[in-house]
Every structure is written in structure tokens, then in C-alpha cells.
Amino acid sequence: MAAPLAIVALRSHRAGENGQIEALAAALSQRLGAPLETLTPRWRLPQANLLSLAHQVSSRGAAPLALPSAKGHLIISAALRNEALARALAQQSPQGMTVFLGRTWAPPGAFSLTVTTPQYRRPAHPKVLENPLTLHDLEADVPATAKEAEDARLPAVTGKALGVLIGGPSGPYTLGPKSARRLLAEALALAGDRPLWVTTSPRTPAPAVARLAAHPWRPQDRFLPWGSGPNPYRTILARAGALLVTGDSIAMLSEALGTGKAVRVFDLGDMAQRGSGRPRDRTVQSLAYSALFRLGPQRLSRDLRCVFEGLRDRPQFAFSPTPIPPEAWGPGAPAAPQLEATLARITALLEGA
């Protein structure tokens, strides 16, 4: 007999979005007692967005994506490439609903609910939920994180080190050698005698990684760039005593704040305030985005500062190099308020359907 409702996680081509999709889908499945199915589209044309839906295939082979057997389906997805596909799948269901995360190019009424953040500056709408930060489920991920914390490359201390999580370019912001040098100086000032646990991401540009690799690290420090072994990201979130995060990624910032630990954001340039005068890197792409941001339609850009502005009253949050008080270092208390707010909104949506 078909289930009354199935949760469908329609994966994106970006890891950060997949983390949010999977966190929400797993939490909904557990809360509603509904089966969860994960679908992974593969495009024959990597840049195809709204074309050739027949080219979607599942992760198991060349068969077209298909919904699991159920009387109704709640499809969760993100990214422009999946907008048309999510809507098409919902139309195949007797009772199909779609929850889309982040920014959408279709009007809000095209989805049952859009879950977004202030950076996209979406107008208020009955079918839009704006959370202050992106979704994560660190509370549910505690066992997995604890297992990862056995990483032998990091000393078996908890709550002592400063975790440094490094992203990459984003819109008008660039991470290059100048920013890397300043990041190192601010990290050392924040940590003092405490160890630094530093990791990069796939988006971190090679010149910045090279500058970090050339730094004369102290014996207690650990520089673990992305691709040099198992990803230490979750381990650092779990075991560092405080965190320094580059300001390019709201998803990374959301997870850092979700640990309950003291978090400092590294300003890649005019993030904390305009005209800060801090040394920064620039590229043709960042300059072009800056022009688009000032002169183009608001819909085509995003403003990370809108997120930061909403966090200024939180004692946990500040821009570096604001010092971290000694009493603020510690293991933290993971929480997922954005996830809870989203679950409540979707539950109410299902009850009213």
C-alpha cells in the first residue's frame, strides 16, 4: 500500500545547498513518520537549466527520475537548475507540494513555500519564509560529528583551539593573498597561545591556499587544506573552542553559529561597514559584480550585509578582530532554530492542505 506522504530530497549540484536540503528532508521524515527518497539529477549539458527535462537521470543509472509510490509528495530542492524539474515532479503527484530553498527565479506562487534568507532581499509574500540564517541540523548530527572527531590529525583536546573555516570568492568579495595575510594575522591575534585549526574549501583560490601553506605554523597549529585528506570541517565545528569564519558563505556562518560557540567573521572587504580601508583583493569578476550590485536590478545580486546586520545584537557574533573573552571559549550548545521554524511552517502548510 502506498504511503500517505513521501518526502523527496531533490539534490542540487552544490554541496552547501545539499546540506540544507538533506537536513530539512531528514527532519521532516522523522517528524512526520514519512519515507524519504533522495533523487540526484544529472544534466547531460552541465549548464542546462530549463531545457530538456528528459535528460534528467537518477544516480542509479539512465532511467528518468521518478517519484516513489505515495498518495502525496513533498519535494524539497534548491538552485536554478532544479526549479523546473521540481515543479514538473510535483505535477506528476496526485498531491504534489514543493519547498524551495534560497533564491528562486520563478515567482513565489510557483512553489508551495520558498525558504530564504535576508541576503536575497525578497519582498514579503504569504508563500515565502525568511529565516535569519540558512538551515542545518547540527543537533541531529552530533553522533556523526563525534565519530569524525576521532580524526588523528587533530590533537585530542576539545574547546581549546580556534577553528578557522575558509571559503572563497563571493560576488564583490575576493579571497586572495592580501586577504590571506590579514586573515592569518587576525586568527593569531584571536587565538593567542591557543592552537589554530585551519581548513579551506573547494572554492578557496590557489594563491590564497599557497599563501597559507607558506606560513610558518607553530607546533600546536594544524593547517588541513581541502583535498589533503578527510575533510576536517565537521570535526573542527565539533571540537574547536571558538570559530573564525570568512564572510563569504552564509551557510558556513549558519553552521558555525549553530554550534553555540563564539564566532568571529573575517571581513573580506566592507562587510562590517563601508569604507573600512582594510586591505582587500580585487578581480575582474568582483569588480563586475560590484557594478551589477550598484547599477543592476536587485533581483540579480545578493547582499550578504543584510544577514550580518540581523546578527549584530547576538553576543555570540562579531567581526574579527574583536577579541573573544576567555569565558566564551568552550564546547558550545548546538541548536537549529531555523530548522525548527521551517518545520513548523511546513507542518502548518500540510495541515491546511
> d(Cα 229, Cα 265) in Å, to the nearest integer?
26
> CA–CA separation, 301 vs 251, rounded Å?
17
The tens place of each residue's pLDDT in the chain, 353 residues long, gives 567 999 999 999 888 899 899 999 999 999 999 999 999 887 554 444 444 444 443 444 334 678 888 899 999 999 988 898 898 888 888 889 999 999 888 888 899 999 999 988 888 999 999 999 999 876 555 444 444 545 678 887 777 899 999 998 876 788 888 899 999 999 999 999 999 999 999 999 999 999 999 999 999 999 999 999 889 999 999 999 999 999 999 999 999 999 999 999 999 887 876 655 566 666 657 556 566 566 566 666 678 888 999 999 999 999 999 999 999 999 888 888 999 999 999 999 998 86
CATH architecture under which domain 142-334 falls: 3-Layer(aba) Sandwich (3.40)
Residue found under cell 540558512 = 134
**pTM (2 d.p.):** 0.85
pLDDT of 154 reads: 86
**Helix (H) or strand (E) run with residue 117 in it:** none
Q: Locate 284 and state its grid cell.
A: 575582474
CA atoms lying within 13 Å on the CB side of residue 43: 16
How far is it, in rounded angstroms, from Cα 172 to Cα 271? 10
What pLDDT score does 297 carry? 65
Q: How many CB atoms lie within 10 A of CB 343?
A: 18
Give pLDDT, residue 280: 67
Instruction: Give the residue range(s) of CATH 3.40.50 domains in the chain.
Output: 6-137+338-351, 142-334
Residue 318 in 3-state DSSP?
strand
**CATH code for residues 6-137+338-351:** 3.40.50
167: Cα within 13 Å, side-chain hemisphere: 22
Write b or e for each residue in 113-145: b if 16 or more Cβ atoms lie within 10 A of its Cβ, otherwise e: bbbbbbbbebeeeeebbbbbbbbbbbebbeeeb
Instruction: Please tell me the predicted confidence (pLDDT) of residue 120.
Output: 85
